[in-house]
Structure 1
């Protein structure tokens, strides 16, 4: 059965797929003018800051995975800023809080996206910073048609802006009203910020790398850090209902830099699947693939059948339970054991014929799992309809926003998968002199001691951002990813099974009916859990859905085309043919190439 809404693009020159057509085409223009995949990805990343401001921003973060044409070892670009020095559990408790707020300056971590994109450009790009940033500066200064999703987000928070965040109201509202969908919108303050980064970077000398380093210093130690420090000290309303000041200081900005690290990998189906280490949720995908392989029986994994949907859902619950107990920015991560064949076999033995509503983390290396005390209180609670913490997908299947994603492959075989997010316009009040706001990624920490994701100064939050890179015999063949918070690896699992194991074309695998579960504590404020939940696209079919309900799944129909925003690019190393696809849901993702 096929579901394709668009063709899978094929060519030999290069491909880009992203969550906004302007970012895709801007990146493609870089490839057309001789830039490589990394020049193109950086260009797209900064354009996304401008054209999808409700989904990411300069104050947010970006993890990425790269494999170059010369060095096929997958590396992770760590663009996830940690908690600032003042972010202690005691500080939040003194404020009377038992959860980190989902919005407002108190939830901010150190901004990581800009420094990470610049590090990528320095180490793997070929273009000068001015040339790479030209499209983003142009869209910020001259304007761009503001997508309806951004307008819808502004509409939801316009009362908050008008009453409590006046600097955001000044940027995003006109006479107290949101912009009109698709009307031209400009952000000259952010254009000025980018121009100043370029100018001060160029003052460091004529060499490309020195100019990029000069811009990085300006971001971390110059006017940006000074403005962030001054603005963070002002109290603003947050989702706790109180007014609180932020904690990010100029010293915090200067003390952290983006970095490189080795990817977490799994050998599966003759391929190497690469993800971020367990400071992110990426290994959920690896654990799920390993457990499904341990289950055996390819016929049981047909995703067009009741059993296939049931098995993938139950396996994901087990991996996401391990995420709650074992994932985090810690030194003694049990990830090697979590990805072992022996552990996968143990976990496969827990998959039964009926849906489980329990959170069942395992005991890698014989360790005893520890879950948050708040888990009992949050079990069975659903997020409030008006919650504006993380812009992701609610348990009802209703889309409230997302993250961003971009994949690029060039004719030389360089490949990258990147998932920028955070710093959304609704995260925190706009810093007027800079034209952007800080993020709220700190909400992913627990305010309980002794957990792998407990709040701690200098620790990275356990992010949901989860790019994917796949290699065959050491050569990159596929880059993919999806916005969607806790759903990112769930939707990617379906895509990889359909495309790499099931043989569907990229676009066909993206378009096929999707589902996900919320039967685990959510990563975002207010951290709720909905046992046995299964949110499905109606296109699964009445008979199949009825069978899932008989197995104990609490099914919510979300509409025929509502779940997932996957992007993907691929390259066949033997022929040099490149290909790409992008999700039609939401009418915003686009792939381009030739």
Structure 2
């Protein structure tokens, strides 16, 4: 029995990881907007109501299908490393890895510019209308999520004693807010209002005013505030020491979001589109290429054969991620070879009857793979307790042992045939101190870049660190079929893959596919500091047949069970074969919300 209903409509479908954001997106259609206006409004509200998982200082990949185009493009909102970021800079400070929190790992904030690019190029509404719901919630308040309250509680001492601007922003009268309490962010509201004022003052047409808002952020008062804080302050970070940052106003002024071609692969008649290897998106396609050679439907959903095969294919694809992925503008990434079906045939032969505990990247085009050594990690002192939180780079409270990685997701499909999906992240409240006067912290995606020489993901000035963010659009006959994503750090392209396979191979409806019992492996090192790996792990939600679990253990998997409905928050929209619009959202976390009308 489904916990959430199947939602079908004729005008629009919205799904996101927060109910207020989904409602704000749907409201844009009442103003004459389209899917792109709705997605932008949804994203700006998520920046306010999910501050523990994303913010204006963060990053985002946005996948876009324009009605009638028959294609998908990606707007890259992943900002690059500052001009001063070199391996030598960090090594000279005695670091073997870029810290997962603080100012040293800050990159150019890409999210704000990417959403403005989407709105300018594809939307219809003025920025003031699209930003209005976010301004309202920042100014007048919203109910704080339990996980956000928990994170603030774990960092309260840090916020009071060290990151005092964060304390002014997130503590209420110096106290930790209780879950559901109405909280505000007046500094963020003022930032949004000033951006709108400078946009309106620029005059001209709608597009010119949107460009003026971009300039006010990246070449105006926002960039000036970030520069002053990053280069002028020294704040405690994951090292336990006080460090300043590298990010400057020049880094922001020279940045524009790019529009790029997606990578795609046909899987059983479905044209699947992902972002490039500056994300982990191609790993989804590599898994599909491997799974294509198996008759999953004959195995049966949830069988030991199904889980074993999916996990072993994931291990191979993610091993290639570790060896080969990076910013293709700065590194030679053998994408064509990695996605070649002959390469997949060769790699598929490595899937045996036993679980593999070895990281086995391939040799596309005969190249020798390079697995970077894991940096040493001496452990963290127990006092102060917040230091352990900063040491772990994921936006979650450290005590959680399963599915720690998290972010946000939103997707919209409209009656015109437009579709968009994005996974906003970065700039979360745990990552970095709030910038005085702006109401938001910087992102720390730089922690994912490596300090070892010669790897595609080695840190370099102006280079995008490889990100875990990975939304998906699927076309059928050139028209949008599904647009989906999930929070979940490194697990995103396992949880969404499970959703997609459940739908395509096992015939489940999107909502059924979302609610099916989840699983993943932590075989590869985490992209977040301190880059922990559990090579033989197979994590599953409780509720599986004990015989299936016993068989998986017999095959060598180290099976761990977690509470039901805890792995992922897949959000999906799309179009059915008879032109109805569908919206689906995961019940996991009790906050994602879908709307169709």
Do these two structures clear the TM 0.5 threshold for a shared fold by scoring above it? yes
1:586 is matched with 589
Q: CA deviation at 1:258?
A: 0.6
2:316 is matched with 318
Q: Is residue 351 of structure 1 aligned with residue 356 of structure 2?
A: no
For 1:396 and 1:368, the matched residues in 2 are separated by: 37
Deviations 1:201-254 (A, max 9, x none): 112213100000010111110000000000002111111221110111000000
1:23-422 equivalences in 2 (<5 Å): 23-233=21-231, 234-294=233-293, 296-299=294-297, 301-331=299-329, 332-374=332-374, 386=389, 387-391=391-395, 397-398=401-402, 400=404, 402-422=406-426
Q: CA deviation at 1:390?
A: 1.4
Closer, same or farther: CA 399–347 of 1 in aligned 2, 3 Å: closer
Contact 2:199–2:210 (8 Å) recurs in 1: yes
For 2:517 and 2:584, the matched residues in 1 are separated by: 16
Residue 350 of structure 1 aligns to a residue in which SS? coil
2:504 is matched with 500
Mean Cα deviation higher: 552-561 or 309-318: 552-561
Q: CA deviation at 1:301?
A: 4.7
Q: CA deviation at 1:481?
A: 0.3
For 1:540 and 1:263, the matched residues in 2 are separated by: 36
For 1:281 and 1:456, the matched residues in 2 are separated by: 19
Contact 2:227–2:248 (8 Å) recurs in 1: yes
1:448-463 equivalences in 2 (<5 Å): 448-463=452-467
For 1:439 and 1:499, the matched residues in 2 are separated by: 34
Residue 28 of structure 2 aligns to a residue in which SS? helix
Contact 1:300–1:308 (8 Å) recurs in 2: no
Deviations 1:561-588 (A, max 9, x none): 211110000113x532001110001100
For 1:413 and 1:449, the matched residues in 2 are separated by: 46
Q: How many residues align?
A: 586
For 1:208 and 1:182, the matched residues in 2 are separated by: 37
Q: CA deviation at 1:336?
A: 1.1
2:384 is matched with none
Q: CA deviation at 1:396?
A: 6.7
For 1:485 and 1:79, the matched residues in 2 are separated by: 17
Residue 450 of structure 1 aligns to a residue in which SS? coil
For 1:374 and 1:575, the matched residues in 2 are separated by: 51
Closer, same or farther: CA 154–388 of 1 in aligned 2, 3 Å: farther
Q: CA deviation at 1:302?
A: 2.8
Residue 421 of structure 1 aligns to a residue in which SS? coil
Closer, same or farther: CA 244–85 of 1 in aligned 2, 3 Å: same
Residue 374 of structure 1 aligns to a residue in which SS? coil
The counterpart of 1:441, out of the listed 439, 442, 445, is: 445
For 1:144 and 1:34, the matched residues in 2 are separated by: 26
Greater than 6 Å deviation, 4+ residue runs: 393-396
Question: TM-score scaled by structure 2?
Answer: 0.96
Q: CA deviation at 1:53?
A: 0.3
Contact 2:403–2:488 (8 Å) recurs in 1: no
Deviations 1:241-280 (A, max 9, x none): 2111011100000011111000010011111100001111
For 1:378 and 1:301, the matched residues in 2 are separated by: 41
Contact 1:61–1:422 (8 Å) recurs in 2: yes
Residue 519 of structure 1 aligns to a residue in which SS? coil
Contact 2:405–2:491 (8 Å) recurs in 1: no
Residue 540 of structure 1 aligns to a residue in which SS? coil
Residue 590 of structure 2 aligns to a residue in which SS? coil
Contact 1:393–1:402 (8 Å) recurs in 2: no
The counterpart of 2:468, out of the listed 461, 464, 471, is: 464
Q: CA deviation at 1:290?
A: 0.4
Contact 1:60–1:421 (8 Å) recurs in 2: yes
For 2:485 and 2:353, the matched residues in 1 are separated by: 30
Q: CA deviation at 1:503?
A: 1.3
Q: CA deviation at 1:172?
A: 1.2
| Stretches of structure 1 lacking an aligned partner (at least 5 in a row) | none
Deviations 1:304-325 (A, max 9, x none): 1001000000000000000000
For 1:585 and 1:298, the matched residues in 2 are separated by: 25
Closer, same or farther: CA 378–74 of 1 in aligned 2, 3 Å: farther
The counterpart of 2:531, out of the listed 516, 527, 530, is: 527
Mean Cα deviation higher: 513-522 or 152-161: 152-161
Q: CA deviation at 1:298?
A: 3.3
Q: CA deviation at 1:473?
A: 1.5
1:431 is matched with 435
For 1:40 and 1:525, the matched residues in 2 are separated by: 34
| Stretches of structure 2 lacking an aligned partner (at least 5 in a row) | 381-386
Q: CA deviation at 1:164?
A: 1.7
For 2:213 and 2:326, the matched residues in 1 are separated by: 31
1:511 is matched with 515
Closer, same or farther: CA 483–193 of 1 in aligned 2, 3 Å: same
Residue 104 of structure 2 aligns to a residue in which SS? helix
The counterpart of 2:488, out of the listed 480, 484, 507, is: 484
Contact 2:573–2:584 (8 Å) recurs in 1: yes
